Amino acid sequence: MIDILILSNGPGEVTTWVRPVVKALRKQLGNDISQVRISVILSPCPHASGKEASIASSYPEVNRVQSSEHFWQFLLVGRTAENWDWRDQGVLVFLGGDQIFPVIIGKRLGYKTLVYAEWEARWHSFIDYFGVMKSHVIKNVDPKYAHKFHVVGDLMLEAAGEIRKEEDNKIEKWSDPIIGLLPGSKTAKLTQGVPLTLAIAEYIHSKRPEIKFFIPVAPTLDLPTLVSFANPENNQFTKVFNFKGAILKDNYLETSTGLQVELKQENPAYHLLSQAAICLTTVGANTAELGALGVPMIVLLPTQQLDAMRSWDGLPGLLANLPGVGSSFAKLINWWFLRNKGLLAWPNIWAQTEIVPELVGKLQPEELGNMVLDFLDHPEKLADIKDKLRSVRGESGAAEKLASLVKKMIENDHIS
């Protein structure tokens, strides 16, 4: 009898890492809970939506889930909120969070530990095995730990491909070009992102009315909240972009010019995004997901008002949101950021060069619309971006390879 404990954290990890891994584990280890029980424990994440536990609980392969608010008690004293029992033998699989967590928890439970690492692996002497996305993660590893490392490939690519295959027969196919709009999920980004992307869509539609648009709505957002950012009475930034507003009609945003932008609430929306000719997106996890799908994108960071961007993580985010003085801190932080920003989109960070355009500044809809139209008129440019996006990601099959490592850890107590 074996327990498999999966540690994870944010919405991206739960949907793109945990989902394919638990499916692969059940495929290789069977569905008998009396023999193999799978538990998921979530740690806090600054990008969490609050729905991660319910998403993980929806996976039929998972037997029990603990949400992030109970994590610190579990880490410090080893007790879950529901006082779970633990079997004598087990494997801890790390799929997001801080890599110190499996060190502490694995030691307490006496379980072997397997860490999935995209870009960096830590605590080499304390972790039993690492499944890494690419071989470059291993290049600076002390030779005495090299036997612990195994290149498994890209879990995000795995998840995207799996979801596309599952959903391919369920969805409509667009005969005309489609463009995805990803304005963000938090207020700091939505305030400028919603009116800007919708204004760009209006301009493109005025030139090419056959083009369709959709917004994959983040699971953290309800439709009335999203629509409020397109309302001039609620959001002053609609005027900055000369956007006249939009209203909700069924599952569409209808703008003042009559453009209809479909709102898609499926999550994750990879099967929809993979059909897009190009996407307009803010910085953040969206860029990683689009990159894994090989979808061309233009990354937007409007700076019409420097104190509008207050979505930073850690200390900068805390300072920028302090009552009274937060605006001043936000302006200072963003001024410094714009002078020292480096690369912003995840595919560009991976490649250490600008594969997809990053546009920062006082962005205007007409200029950006013309840029999109130029891409659509020159499909070879989009094809080149697709090829480069695919080249910077790892191989597929990561979930099956990780499950195979778990199986060998259980069976052999050693991986050859």
| Assigned domain for 159 exists | no
pLDDT at 162: 55
pLDDT tens, residue by residue, 47-74: 676 788 998 999 999 999 999 999 999 9
Q: β-pairing, 260-264 with 252-255?
A: antiparallel
| Assigned domain for 121 exists | yes
On whether the CB atoms of residues 45 and 9 are closer than 8 A, the answer is: yes
Asked if omega into 143 is within 30° of 0 (cis), the reply is no
Average pLDDT on 10-16 reads 81
State if pTM tops 0.75. Answer: no
Is the domain of 259 the same as that of 399? no
3-state SS, residue 218: coil
On whether the CB atoms of residues 379 and 310 are closer than 8 A, the answer is: no
Average pLDDT on 18-24 reads 93
On whether the CB atoms of residues 222 and 251 are closer than 8 A, the answer is: no
| Assigned domain for 100 exists | yes
How many structural domains are present in the chain? Answer: 2
* Helix-strand-coil split of the chain, %, nearest 5: 45, 20, 40
Is the domain of 357 the same as that of 233? yes
Is the domain of 230 the same as that of 99? no
| Assigned domain for 166 exists | no
**Residue 320 DSSP class:** H
| Assigned domain for 163 exists | no
Is the domain of 131 the same as that of 117? yes
Is the domain of 197 the same as that of 136? no
Is the domain of 201 the same as that of 78? no
| Assigned domain for 321 exists | yes
Is the domain of 226 the same as that of 301? yes
**Residue 119 DSSP class:** S
DSSP-assigned letters across all residues of 39-85: EEEE---TT--S-HHHHHHT-TT--EEE-GGGHHHHHHH---TT---
pLDDT at 16: 81
| Assigned domain for 368 exists | yes
Is the domain of 110 the same as that of 186? no
| Assigned domain for 162 exists | no
3-state SS, residue 31: coil
The range of the structural domain enclosing residue 16 comes to 2-154+395-412
Is the domain of 309 the same as that of 384? yes
Is the domain of 377 the same as that of 401? no
The CATH number of residue 112's host domain is 3.40.50.2000
Q: Is the pLDDT of residue 234 over 60?
A: yes
**Residue 100 DSSP class:** H
pLDDT at 341: 59
Is the domain of 227 the same as that of 201? yes
Place of tokens 């699989």: 93
Is the domain of 351 the same as that of 251? yes
pLDDT at 360: 86
